[in-house]
Amino acid sequence: MNLIEILTVILILSAIVLCITSIYFHYKIVKSVRSISSNIDKISCKLIPLIDSTLELSKKITNISNEAGYQLLTIGSIISDVKYGVDKITNFETIIPNMIINAVIPYLKKIKAVGKGVGSFWNRLITK
């Protein structure tokens, strides 16, 4: 065997080792991709219920928010009604005394005038 034949055999053996190594690493890569694919499938199976429950939670939060808004509007309306009632009572309390004073004062003046007249009458009667 000469040098060229030896180098050819080494080259062929190197090519065979390279092919076997390439097949082995290809197998390892395929196995890793399958494992990753399996993990992704497991994760996606777990994510679907999570997404569904998140959507349901979002709907419930929206309903609660809408209900709270309605309750706030109702409370605002009640407060407005109470405020209006209190204003009417306060206004009524100021109107009634004014009405009484305006109605009674002329009579009090007339009674006072009659009293002065009767007093003058008695004074004149006594002085005579």
Q: How far is Cα 53 from Cα 120, in angstroms, rounded to an integer?
A: 98
What is the pLDDT at residue 97?
Answer: 75
Q: What percentage of the chain reaches a pLDDT higher than 90?
A: 58
Q: How far is Cα 25 from Cα 93, in angstroms, rounded to an integer?
A: 98
What is the pLDDT at residue 128?
Answer: 67
pLDDT per residue over 47-100, tens digit each?
A: 989 999 999 999 999 999 999 999 999 999 999 999 998 888 877 777 777 777
Q: Where does the pLDDT of residue 32 fall: very low under 50, low under 70, confident under 90, or very high at 90 and above? A: very high
What is the pTM for the complete model shown?
Answer: 0.47
Q: At which residue do the structure tokens 């055999």 appear?
A: 9
Question: What is the rounded (10 degree) CA torsion for 45, 46, 49, 55?
Answer: -110
Q: How far is Cα 14 from Cα 120, in angstroms, rounded to an integer?
A: 151
What is the pLDDT at residue 96?
Answer: 77
What is the pLDDT at residue 59?
Answer: 96
Q: How far is Cα 66 from Cα 69, in angstroms, rounded to an integer?
A: 5
**3 state DSSP class of 17:** helix
